[in-house]
Amino acid sequence: GWIDGVYVGTNASATIDNARIENIDSIVAYDNARLEVSNTDIAGISDGIYARNQAQILIASSTIAGTLSDHAVAAYGNSQVTIASSTITNTLYNDAVGVYNNAVMTIASTTIDGVPDGSGIAVYGGSTYGGMLSVSSSTIKNVEDSGIYIYKATSTISNTVIKNVEDSGIYASCAT
């Protein structure tokens, strides 16, 4: 069965290292919290890993496989998320990585593979320009929508391979 989730709350700090996590609802950092996930395999997570309200998350040398109903990783509300040397596979019913409302997402040396219902990475700046995405030395493949979708946000993309996408490799609207 499913367990509820891991929550790192107001001004807290936590580390998940060298773990295997299965059949969990979500992993959330919020309200200025800091979370580091490293050398960890996550399988069958329902709502993914996400940062809210100025939280900071680092995901390094980890695997997220089989996200069942939401993003594998997402950043909201002025949060910062870094994904490094990791793999995200089989994200169902949403974009693999989502960035919203002035959040910052940095992705390096990471593979996103298998997104049958969304984009590999989607950045939504909101009603005003906001949000920032940096992707380097990564691969995004086997995606139903765009490899990278950017709306009202700033992005830097370098040394990144995007292949086997149904829509655009990179789609940018009102973006820099």
| Predicted confidence (pLDDT) per residue in 34-63, tens digit | 999 999 999 989 999 999 999 999 999 999
Give pLDDT, residue 71. Answer: 94
Q: How far is CA 68 from the centre of its chain?
A: 14
Q: From edge to edge, which strands make up the β-sheet containing 170-173?
A: 3-8, 24-30, 49-52, 73-75, 97-100, 121-124, 148-151, 170-173
Total-model pTM: 0.96
Structure tokens at 17: 């290292």
Task: Grade residue 5 by pLDDT with cuts at 50, 70 and 90.
Answer: confident
Cβ–Cβ under 8 Å, residues 50 and 72: no
Task: Grade residue 175 by pLDDT with cuts at 50, 70 and 90.
Answer: confident
